Amino acid sequence: MAIDYVMPKLAMAMNEGTINEWLVAEGDYVEKGAELASIETEKVAYDVESPEAGYIHIIVPAGETVECEVRVAQFAESEEELASLQQAAAAPAESAAVENASEQPIEQVTATAPRVAGERIKASPLARKMAGQSGLDLATIAGTGPGGRIVKRDVLAARERPAAVAAPVTASTAIELARIPMKGTPRAAIARRMVESLQSTAQLASSWEADITDLLDVRRRLVSREEQLGTRVSVNALLVKAIVGAIQQVPMANSALEGDDIVIYKAVHMGIAVSLPGATEYDTTLMVPVLKDVDRMSVVEIDRAMKALIGRARSGELSAEEMSGSTITLSSTAGLAPPGLTTAPILNLPNGMIVGPSTPIERPMVRDGEVRICTMLPLSVTFDHRVMDGEPFARFATALTERLENPELLLV
């Protein structure tokens, strides 16, 4: 009897997935544990292994997005059972083809068919990402996937070919600098989650500055011991340590609403927002890998773990476990935004708080009755007002500021 293969739930917050590419062909015999498909969740793609052995019958083609637990393929025990599955699938398809014959020429794009100007290019999300990273124009790549869709193998083949001469710009294309399709891409998932976050929570953002002059002195001393420590300690590592200390003083900052309950978490799992290249040179995408049990780490351990995690995010090597389970999020624009800029980051669901530091700025400040030039760190924190009131948030903000302005507290 055929065994169903459903869209796997690769992360706790995953509701749907996109099949970037089937790594086996229709009818292949697949061993248990063999690579089966490339599946993209909201922010990252995974190569999944086959949970069964058998002859594969593909139901959902590459490029399609379906909800978790929806059947996308079947494993047949024998070639005879495979043939039966294929015949059952072909019967309704042939009937639909007859009924919709007048509409078919528009959709039937093959690898050799010329594209019409302005026509949306069909490509899997993984293929779009790979093409963008390689500087390839999808319009110059022939698709060999279902319905002429561009898939991973097409981009790999295009990388090996000599660069084509760019087509002349026509009046119809000169108006637009770029067009970035969103359907079925990580950017669409990000957009959906941002809207969901704003619509489903009571978000309140507050901004202030912390004097990190002494913190930077401590960091310089740590950097001078880089060889001994085995890492060049970053400001973000010190900031994470300060956030953890503030949470330990005000545990409510590490909480979220789950159903009808407010849950205060014992461990601190820090989500780290990482910006990555998008489908084109104009686009970006976003991942939030999770640094687990950061409350048990020293500053040096935080720095090492964070750099390793961000490195795996940028190389596409994150596991599903590393993308789920955050209790609070850090989203830094330091070094990217102009000095002094403050933002109001949107909550990363289901977290009840997100901390958004920006680029430091030097200001004259009065310290001990004297005017000094101090380095001030802009901080913006957004929290869910359904979970936390202003009083505990004010205590958290005070505790965070105290640790940033008195960095000796971070090293004890």
Region of 244 please: left (phi>0), alpha (psi -120 to 50) or beta. Answer: alpha
Q: What are phi and psi of 196, to 5 degrees?
A: -60, -40
Rounded-to-integer distance, Cα 163 and Cα 24, Å: 29
* Residue 162, CA atoms < 13 Å, CB-side half-sphere: 1
State yes or no: is 261 an active-site residue: no
Residue 51 CB coordination number (10 Å):
13
Catalytic residue among 4, 47, 293, 389: 389
Rounded-to-integer distance, Cα 301 and Cα 136, Å: 39
- Asked if residue 178 lies in contact with residue 170, where contact means CB atoms within 8 angstroms, the answer is no
Handedness of CA 332, 336, 341, 344 (dihedral sign): negative
Q: What are phi and psi of 377, to 5 degrees?
A: -100, 115
Residues 6 or more apart in contact with residue 9 via CB below 8 angstroms: 68, 69
Rounded-to-integer distance, Cα 74 and Cα 3, Å: 5
Rounded-to-integer distance, Cα 255 and Cα 218, Å: 31
- Alpha-carbon Rg for the chain, nearest whole angstrom, is 26
State yes or no: is 389 an active-site residue: yes
Give me 248's structure tokens: 């330990």
Catalytic residue among 137, 214, 283, 385: 385
Rounded-to-integer distance, Cα 153 and Cα 143, Å: 9
Cis peptide before 114 (omega within 30 of 0): no
**Catalytically annotated residues:** 385, 389
